[in-house]
Homo-oligomer: A and B are copies of this chain.
């Protein structure tokens, strides 16, 4: 089974037992190949990254956290190259199989982690989210997934991409496991008290394919039944397109700064589309970056205004279910642009977001997301658990 879905990096599988008698004892987890595991090369999804970087001698913070809580590490998972990708296709290591939709992509860049959890190979798995890399595969593979509040959890030992947007994240198949793991990761009990107000982000729903909006309606109604006070509201008054543009100005510019010395020294190999993203990032003028920083400031203010304590917001995690595997680049690029419009608020504003497996469209999973103010991660997890129950 494990080899069938191509979730794990090539070579012998790492196995590290969790501490006995921890809160997560008995659970297994996998880690995206962006997280350091002592004694294992961190591959970063690119054949020339590990070659140019020393084998780590310490576990990444997130790996250590789960091991200390008793979970057992059972493997490192395939990621889009240097975490630059959103559909989950890796030209060097292949595309992990999305067992909920085998002819479809798993989503990325935390592709192997999502695929492994979806296929039942482990109970939870670590991912990273810069521009949607946990949220998108969660939606496409029918999983719970979280992008925590930016800056809340240490990113020590996690390979960076765009440091002002990078977060860790994780997946689970069911609400109870998700809550258990999240409680450990966040260092906080998951509350049973639900928020008092719900905003339905109408601009985000308008961005999704009509079938997706339609399919998500019962889940929104369920949310409405838990939280009495509901109103419809625009998330980005000047347009999600503007927020997306700002994010795709800031993120690739930072990614270029992250990787440029390595690239200059080693001339690494990349799939064409990955190289293109890096190169376009290198060409963004400072004037555009200045504009994007201002948009980020406005977007953060908007989220603070929309989401006082006790208020959460819901939106479709992705505008469509998982696209087919092996689409031409021109098609995949358009899909990526649309995805970005529903994901950009995360990297731009740093708010926490949980994607809840909600429904299917033509048999393909698609998730509903809930978003809250900075630091209310546990509340969102609690809502997810309540919806599951």
Q: How far does the Cβ of A327 sit from chain B's closest Cβ, in whole Å?
A: 9
Q: For the complex, is A267 an interface residue (Cβ under 8 Å from B)?
A: yes
Q: For the complex, is A286 an interface residue (Cβ under 8 Å from B)?
A: no
Decide: A328 and B275 in contact? CB cutoff 8 A.
Answer: no
What is the bound-complex CA distance between A268 and B332, given in angstroms? 14
Give per-residue flags for A264-300: 1 if the beta carbon is below 8 A from chain B beta carbons, else 0: 1101111111011011100000000000000000000
Give per-residue flags for A237-271: 1 if the beta carbon is below 8 A from chain B beta carbons, else 0: 00000000000000000000000000111011111
Asked, given contacts A275-B279, A279-B275, A279-B279, whether A270 binds B269 with beta carbons under 8 Å apart, the answer is yes
Q: How far does the Cβ of A261 sit from chain B's closest Cβ, in whole Å?
A: 9
Q: For the complex, is A1 an interface residue (Cβ under 8 Å from B)?
A: no
CB contact between A276 and one of B89, B91, B265, B279 (< 8 Å): that residue? B279
Give per-residue flags for A34-60: 1 if the beta carbon is below 8 A from chain B beta carbons, else 0: 000000000000001000000000000
CB contact between A264 and one of B91, B278, B329 (< 8 Å): that residue? B329
11 residue pairs from A and B, CB less than 8 Å apart: A91-B268, A263-B272, A263-B329, A267-B272, A268-B271, A269-B269, A270-B270, A270-B272, A272-B275, A275-B279, A279-B280
19 more contacts with CB within 8 A, not counting A91-B269, A275-B276, are A92-B269, A263-B272, A263-B329, A264-B328, A264-B329, A264-B330, A265-B329, A267-B271, A267-B273, A267-B332, A268-B271, A268-B272, A269-B269, A269-B271, A270-B272, A272-B275, A275-B275, A279-B279, A279-B280
